Amino acid sequence: MSDVIKVEGLVKRYKELIALDHLDLKVKQGEIYGLLGPNGSGKTTAINCILSLLEYDKGTVTVFGKEMTPRSYDIKKDIGIVPQDLALYDSLTVYENIDFFCGLYIKDPVKRKQYVQEAIDFVAIGDFVKFKPKKLSGGLKRRLNIACGIAHKPKLIFFDEPMVAVDPQSRNKILEGIVELRNSGATVVYTSHYMEEVEQICDYVVILDKGNKIAEGTIDDLKNMIKKSEIITIEAAGVDEDTLESIREMKNIFSVNYENDLLIVEAGNGKHNVIDIINILQDKGYMMKKIFSEQPTLNDVFLELTGKNLRDE
């Protein structure tokens, strides 16, 4: 697959603050590319630099194989942006908002009308086309924001923290829609500090922290970077210290915690971690009520790489 976006050595400073520190990115055609990191990690700054909405101090940016500049209108017509802050006109209805933004790129009135209706259908906002934004819920405003950004059928779409203040039902609808956009041929760049969203939809992920790229790869690649590969939770009453010590001495075990009848074990790669722990407990005569085995999350990856949780900042 060809590179839709190529960023090399990108540096952005705000006086003494280095917002981006020699950042390199490559976004392949037809993928959902996740930029994951806490607030202030440089995600939005990176997008604004890529789009030439923000001047940067050093580096190069190419989009669709061409250098990106503030005057690259031939490139920008194929780009859609769904910003973190709602970009809507309160004086216009839902339909008029979508029609306005679509009209910036699509001049043919027949085609524009078709595209606007397809955008309305895509975000399922047809019952509200005569409403003005102030009459919409937070989730519906977000759907409208997306419709405005994608109505002209861009080849490349940026979603910058699109789930702020969105209810769970709208959140799932939006995520499903983003995957559908990818499946229809668009390339998507998706920024978030919610690792659950990134895990759910992204094909490739870059983790940013303080303007630096600290890790990148597929979801599985990132999880394989850390020692911990499994979290085992077992409900068992009265487990004594000798039994806990036997579990700690097992191969691939990193930590064993026991509190309120819950045994939580963090383990590394091993095919029989759960079975081996169960065997120890059974040999000691303990009754087990519930047994869970979970794979590590992207937050676990971030915690091991940086020493802090993803949302600490």
Contact (Cβ atoms closer than 8 angstroms) between residue 166 and residue 89: no
pTM of the entire structure? 0.82
Looking at domain 3-223, its CATH architecture is 3-Layer(aba) Sandwich (3.40)
Which pLDDT belongs to residue 262?
94
Question: Which tens digit of pLDDT belongs to each residue from 181-240?
Answer: 999 999 999 998 788 888 899 999 999 988 999 999 999 888 888 776 788 999 999 999
Provide the pLDDT confidence category of residue 1 given band limits of 50, 70 and 90: low
CATH of domain 230-295: 3.30.70.1340
Rounded CA gap, 201 and 196, in Å?
9
Q: What value does the mean pLDDT of the chain take?
A: 90
Which pLDDT belongs to residue 32?
97
Rounded CA gap, 86 and 82, in Å?
8
Which pLDDT belongs to residue 166?
75
Above pLDDT 90, what percent of the chain?
Answer: 68
Rounded CA gap, 305 and 222, in Å?
10
Q: Which amino acid is at 56?
A: Y
- Residue 313 clears pLDDT 50, i.e. is over it: no
Rounded CA gap, 43 and 166, in Å?
20
- The residue behind tokens 């229809």 is 184
Q: Where are the domains of the chain?
A: 3-223, 230-295
